[in-house]
Chain A
Amino acid sequence: MYKISKENLPKLYTALAQQGRLLLPCQNKDGKTDFADYTVTAKVNLAATLTARSAKDVFFPQVENLLKFSAQGKKLSLEQILPSSETVIVMGVRACDARSFKILDRVFLKEPVDSYYQARRENTLLIGLGCTAPEETCFCHAFGIDADKPETDVQTWLTEDSLYWLPVTKKGEALSEKLGALLELADETEQKKVEEQAAVTKKILNLLPLHDFKINDKLPANELKVFNSKVWEKLSSSCLSCCTCTYICPTCHCYDIRDYQAGEGKTERFRCWDSCMAGDFTKMAHGNPRKTRLERFRQRYMHKLVYFPENNDGVYACVGCGRCLQKCPVNLNIVKVAKALEVSEDV
């Protein structure tokens, strides 16, 4: 394990920024913290428990150009727009978000592989940050995620005076070597301090309201019963069908592909995030196959809690980050749905 003092962190950022594009949790002037490109004047904020959104945008941007084509008479020319091959380093990734990338990998890296996602994933290095002040909305433990050990190329922990650094993968080790003398070796007492801090975090987690929240693992087996349950009526009635939960969720991955007529025979094909909650999601000639809000609401949670685990060795499409608990305009979220299914008599 290595360490670097807090005063020297700007030097670390500068060194990392030389290795590629560096993204860090930065605070904007409204006080919100989200991943942003590192600049000398950026207000880096590693203390924020959670960034406004996960770094999913790095691999799966909200808008991405795929192709350009233009027609000259009968001749059609195509140009593929591949993502740039620059290295991207994302620092300050929490354990929940780190796990979410593994979930997205199951979708995009399955045959046929999504070459855009794959290119970005291979060129990105993740530096995780262990949690010390979980919020009441956190429930990553329900998915076997250790808030203290993000599954990233390098793991780091912030104490009062230092940042501790542990390379985990080969990519992480290669990066650590490039940083050279910036990283000092941490001795045993210091390593113990990090472990003690982790124990304190666990104590805090056990005091929080959701500490014993678990998802019923019988849901996938009872698929039809869950589907037909009367509980969806009550749960979905106050949903607004906006797209907030899907856009801030680290594991949501639905997208639409559209063409833009740039004029004079030129067209750009791009993909953009889409939301299964929106009325015009996957709209076909006859309309949206799920015409009512109840059907769309049910679909989203069935996907997260039943269909995805069925097709992915029991892995739920949720990492317990708690963003939907914080952001839904009418305070609906996956915890309420899971709890309602738990107590419902017809499931």
Chain B
Amino acid sequence: MLEQNNTYQPKIVAFCCNWCSYAGADGAGTARKHYPANIKIIKVPCSCRVNPLFILRAFARGADGVILCGCHPGDCHYTTGNYFTRRRMTLLLSMLDYLGVAGDRFRVEWVSAAEGARFAEVMNNFAAHIAALGKNVKLRDLRCAK
């Protein structure tokens, strides 16, 4: 299914915190480091703004992969936000894996504002990983329009 389908483009949602990872995305842009256009970035003030429900909803509405990017722990613009993100998402990832769904399709990465190249690398890596996994079927709401 995937091997012959050169045109399959996974739908990926990336939650990026305003201060570090979104700036990192800008950095990737100014440095002309390419990363796939099928990654939709949603800017949030801090990675801990992301409610696990957003991630589940992204999958339900058709995302094949979801990645959450924030400042490195210790460097959060709001001092402690990403510490909570880390704990919260550890449990979410563990649960998704336990249920046999999305364990592979959700990832958390820390990217700082200065790491434009790294941002592109992280995104390329994730997009390739998701493309290899194929379409998200298990967590997708079937009533959702294709």
Indicate whether A and B are direct neighbours in the complex (CB within 8 Å). yes
Residues of A whose CB lies within 8 Å of any CB of B are 260, 262-264, 266, 268
Interface residues on B, range: under 10
Query: Closest B-chain residue to A265, C-beta based?
Result: B145
Q: How far is the CB of B135 from chain A (nearest CB, A)?
A: 16
Tell me the bound Cα distance from A266 to B144 in angstroms.
9
Within 8 A of A (CB), among B53-83: 61
Taking A262-B144, A266-B145 as known contacts, 8 extra A-B pairs with beta carbons closer than 8 A to each other, sorted by chain A number, are A260-B143, A262-B143, A262-B145, A263-B61, A263-B144, A263-B145, A264-B145, A268-B143
When distances are taken between beta carbons in the complex, the residues of chain A under 8 Å from B145 are: 262-264, 266
Q: How far is the CB of B40 from chain A (nearest CB, A)?
A: 15
Tell me the bound Cα distance from A262 to B145 in angstroms.
5
Interface of B is mostly: loop
| 10 interchain pairs, CB-CB under 8 A | A260-B143, A262-B143, A262-B144, A262-B145, A263-B61, A263-B144, A263-B145, A264-B145, A266-B145, A268-B143
Tell me the bound Cα distance from A268 to B144 in angstroms.
10
Within 8 A of A (CB), among B92-146: 143-145
When distances are taken between beta carbons in the complex, the residues of chain B under 8 Å from A263 are: 61, 144-145
Q: How far is the CB of B57 from chain A (nearest CB, A)?
A: 13
Tell me the bound Cα distance from A262 to B61 in angstroms.
9
Instruction: Count chain A CB atoms within 10 A of each CB in B61, B143, B144, B145 and give the residue with the most.
Output: B143
When distances are taken between beta carbons in the complex, the residues of chain B under 8 Å from A262 are: 143-145
Query: Closest A-chain residue to B61, C-beta based?
Result: A263
Tell me the bound Cα distance from A262 to B144 in angstroms.
4
Query: Closest B-chain residue to A268, C-beta based?
Result: B143
The 10 A-B residue pairs whose C-beta atoms are closest, nearest first, are A263-B145, A264-B145, A262-B145, A262-B143, A266-B145, A260-B143, A263-B144, A268-B143, A262-B144, A263-B61
When distances are taken between beta carbons in the complex, the residues of chain A under 8 Å from B61 are: 263
When distances are taken between beta carbons in the complex, the residues of chain B under 8 Å from A264 are: 145
Tell me the bound Cα distance from A68 to B37 in angstroms.
33
Tell me the bound Cα distance from A333 to B144 in angstroms.
40
Tell me the bound Cα distance from A260 to B144 in angstroms.
9
When distances are taken between beta carbons in the complex, the residues of chain B under 8 Å from A266 are: 145
Q: How far is the CB of B97 from chain A (nearest CB, A)?
A: 24
Instruction: Count chain B CB atoms within 10 A of each CB in A260, A263, A266, A268 and give the residue with the most.
Output: A263
Tell me the bound Cα distance from A266 to B143 in angstroms.
10
When distances are taken between beta carbons in the complex, the residues of chain A under 8 Å from B143 are: 260, 262, 268
When distances are taken between beta carbons in the complex, the residues of chain B under 8 Å from A268 are: 143
When distances are taken between beta carbons in the complex, the residues of chain A under 8 Å from B144 are: 262-263
Instruction: Count chain B CB atoms within 10 A of each CB in A260, A262, A266 and give the residue with the most.
Output: A262
Tell me the bound Cα distance from A345 to B115 in angstroms.
78
